[in-house]
């Protein structure tokens, strides 16, 4: 073997040894987060029941609780988390540029977004529901459907609003409003028979106002909510998936169920003991 080849091999061996000693050859996001001692979570603010600050400035909401489940899995301590408040349009950029380790911000899973980030397993399925006054003319979507064009539904204004409402109530009159608050005011003043709104908001509103409102008993337009992590680090994605899976189906189910009931006013179904049904 000539001298140049020996020199090249010696250099390669030294590089491999240096990488092995330093650990940088295998270090990834999981190791980085553990070494830092806290989890950086991108989320929003001012959107109950998902993410908002209470009177003392503490972050609250279902997205916040989901992030704390991941922090507890990392450190055995759900307080070892720092929330980075971001706008919705920063959810993907802040992941891609490593400003946050994970985004938990009522983020709808789409195939287009999955080209930019990796999504975790789902932790909630959103949809549209019908909120009614408990003392109103109608008690359910079926009653409103039977009433046909006599029904008025208020909804937040957007290009899909009328089509969305008519999927559930084909003959209803649709009144669009510039804000969610105005749509709710229309219901409270009896200018509308129902509000078409996010199911999570519907449940939160009913939780905050016991006895005042009814769920129309019908949900549609499903959207899957998952957290997002940077592409290219399978170990980190696997870890977050395990932390969330065990909250949904295993040892941390009590934590997840308590949060779900707190924010949405209902208990999720308990995982069945025995054969793991999610593998069927």
DSSP codes of every residue in 215-237: E-S--EEEEEE--EE-TT-HHHH
The total domain count for the chain is 2
Based on the fold, state whether residues 180 and 251 are members of the same structural domain.
Answer: no
Q: Is 277 domain-assigned? A: no
154 found inside a domain = yes
More confident residue, 63 or 11: 63
Confidence at 184, pLDDT banded by 50, 70, 90: very high
Q: Is the pLDDT of residue 24 over 50?
A: no
Residue 272 located in a structural domain: no
Interacting residues of 117 by C-beta distance below 8 A, sequence separation 6+? 92, 95, 96, 103, 228, 229, 230, 231
Give a yes or no: residue 58 inside a domain: yes
Confidence of residue 7 (pLDDT cuts 50, 70, 90): very low
Average of per-residue pLDDT values in the chain: 92
Per-residue pLDDT band at 257 (split at 50, 70, 90): very high
* Whether 70 and 206 share a structural domain: no
The confidence score (pLDDT) of residue 277 equals 85
Q: Could you tell me if 254 and 178 lie in one domain?
A: no
Is there a single domain that holds both residue 112 and residue 133?
no
Whether residue 47 has pLDDT greater than 60: yes
pLDDT confidence bin for 17, thresholds 50/70/90:
very low
Global model pTM greater than 0.75: yes
Q: What percent of the chain has pLDDT over 70?
A: 91
- For residue 87, name the pLDDT band (cuts at 50, 70, 90): very high
In this predicted structure, the answer to whether residue 4 has a pLDDT above a threshold of 70 is: no
Q: Are residues 238 and 103 in the same domain?
A: yes
User: Are 137 and 171 part of one and the same domain?
Assistant: yes
Distance of CA 190 to the CA centre of its chain: 32
pLDDT at 97 over 70: yes
Could you tell me if 146 and 131 lie in one domain? yes
User: Is 3 contained in some domain?
Assistant: no
Residue 14 has pLDDT above 80, yes or no: no
Q: How confident is the model at residue 187 (pLDDT cuts 50, 70, 90)?
A: very high
* Domain span including residue 188: 126-223
Q: Quick one: 46 and 102 in the same domain?
A: yes
- 185 with 234, same domain: the answer is no
Q: Is the peptide bond before 49 cis (omega within 30 degrees of 0)?
A: yes
What CATH number is given to the structural domain containing 236?
3.40.190.10
Give the C-alpha separation, 15 to 47, whole Å.
Answer: 50
Q: What digits encode the pLDDT tens for the residues 157-174?
A: 999 999 999 999 999 999
**What is residue 1's predicted lDDT score, i.e. its pLDDT?**
52
181 within domain boundaries: yes
Question: pLDDT of 194-217, one tens digit each?
Answer: 999 999 999 999 999 999 999 999
**Do residue 153 and residue 71 come from a single domain?**
no
Is the same domain home to 98 and 176?
Answer: no
Answer yes or no: do 198 and 150 share one domain. Answer: yes
Say if 163 falls within a structural domain.
yes
Q: Could you tell me if residue 108 is inside a domain?
A: yes
The whole-number pLDDT of residue 279 equals 81
The token pair that represents 185 in the structure block: 């005011």
């Amino acid at each position: 073997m000539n001298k140049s080849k020996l020199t090249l091999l010696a250099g390669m061996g030294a590089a491999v040894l240096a990488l092995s000693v330093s650990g940088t050859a295998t270090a990834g996001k999981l190791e980085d987060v553990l070494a830092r001692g806290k989890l950086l979570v991108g989320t929003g603010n001012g959107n109950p029941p998902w993410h908002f600050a209470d009177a003392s400035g503490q972050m609250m909401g279902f997205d916040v609780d989901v992030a704390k489940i991941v922090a507890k899995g990392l450190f055995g301590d759900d307080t070892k988390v720092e929330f980075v408040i971001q706008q919705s349009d920063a959810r993907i950029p802040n992941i891609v540029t490593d400003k946050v380790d994970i985004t938990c911000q009522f983020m709808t899973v789409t195939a287009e977004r999955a080209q930019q980030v990796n999504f975790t397993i789902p932790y909630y399925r959103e949809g549209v529901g019908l909120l009614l006054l408990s003392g109103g003319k109608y008690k359910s979507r079926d009653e409103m459907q039977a009433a046909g064009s006599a029904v008025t539904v208020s909804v937040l204004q957007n290009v899909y609003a009328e089509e969305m409402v008519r999927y559930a109530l084909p003959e209803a009159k649709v009144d669009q409003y510039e804000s969610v608050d105005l749509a709710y005011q229309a219901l409270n003043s009896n200018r509308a028979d129902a509000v078409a709104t996010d199911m999570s908001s519907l449940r939160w509103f009913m939780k905050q106002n016991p006895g005042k409102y009814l769920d129309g008993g019908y949900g549609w337009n499903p959207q899957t909510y998952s957290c997002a992590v940077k592409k290219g680090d399978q170990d980190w994605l696997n870890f977050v998936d395990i932390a969330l899976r065990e909250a949904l189906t295993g040892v941390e189910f009590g934590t997840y169920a308590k949060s779900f009931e707190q924010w949405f006013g209902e208990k999720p179904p308990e995982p069945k003991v025995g054969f793991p049904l999610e593998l069927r």
